[in-house]
Amino acid sequence: MKKKFRILKILATVAIFGFLLSFSLKRFHGKPMEKVSVKMLSTQQPVYFVDEKDIHSMVAKSNPTKKVGDINIPELEKKLNKLPAVDSANVYLNLNGNLNLDIKQRVPAFRLNKNGTDFYVDQKGTAFPTSTNYSFPCLLVTGDVQPEEYPALVSLVQKIERDSFAKKYFIGITKRGGNYELLTNEGNFKVEIGDLENIDLKVKGFKAFVEKYLIYQDPQKYTKVSVKYDNQIVTTLNPYFKENDSILLIGKKELAKLPALEKRKEEIAKKNAAAQRQR
């Protein structure tokens, strides 16, 4: 008998609790939304791609009645995460009926101009469009860069940004064919690095070339400095730089000798072949 009474007591308590909970939820769901709080989560560099006014407009469209129970939080969160410049979005209600939106924006690693179209690539290697209202200061990359190359290119840009020497010299990156070139702010020469492998070693090689040789030269002397090859640096002279005239003239004379040398080699080869046949 006592056991039955205990069970009935428990059932009655659960029923009362359920009724009170249901009543509270009804009141909560019908409660007007007091406040919408949009928080832009901090990043290493401030970005302003997402306008808070646009977020408030999205919330208003998602909940025209402005009642707590009429807003579809998962759907709103899904829409926010689909915005190109949004890295992540978290939407939640607190007990007083305030709606909170925590938004983290994408931070560009570089700006890519490909086939005449500009867009950003963020630090995770994800591409997203530029904004008409805001331009983020970052390194410009040009050329036919493939999406699978974005992570390695992000790593290269980050290394340039972290290194005081590289940051001083390099102002852009371009891809020609399969080769990458670093654009410099001194002279009119480019630094050819080839592929995106062994970047640290290549930058160190160029740094050694600058400190041991280039500081004593006019940067206008070269059109290209190549560090793509292992353990060697190859330079290309600027044909429009006056001081290169004598060097280039010697080079042309040497090139002019090549046909005569080739002809002489052919004659010797023919004589050797004839001698072999006579034997």
Q: Report whether 71 contacts 33 (CB < 8 A).
A: yes
Residues of the chain below pLDDT 50: 11-12, 14-28, 244-258, 260-261
What is the 8-class DSSP label of residue 67? B
Crossing angle between the packed helical segments 52-62 and 73-81, to the nearest 10 degrees = 140
Please report, for residues 12, 16, 28, 95, 248, the alpha-carbon distance to residue 72 in angstroms, rounded to integers and kept in the order given.
Answer: 33, 29, 15, 16, 73
Per-residue confidence (pLDDT) for residue 230, from 0 to 100: 83
pLDDT in tens, 108-122: 999 999 999 999 999
Q: Is the pTM of this model over 0.75?
A: no
Per-residue confidence (pLDDT) for residue 147, from 0 to 100: 95
Crossing angle between the packed helical segments 199-212 and 150-162, to the nearest 10 degrees = 40
For residue 118, the number of C-alpha atoms closer than 13 Å in the C-beta half-sphere is 11
Residue 255: phi and psi, rounded to 5, are -65, -35
State the Cα–Cα distance between residues 31 and 34, nearest whole angstrom.
Answer: 8
What is the 8-class DSSP label of residue 202? H
Per-residue confidence (pLDDT) for residue 55, from 0 to 100: 92
Angle 272-276-277 (CA atoms, 0-180°, nearest 5)? 120
Neighbours of 4 (CB within 10 A): 8
**b/e burial code for range 224-260 (CB count within 10 A of at least 16 → b):** ebbbbeeeebebebbeebeebeeeeeeeeeeeeeeee
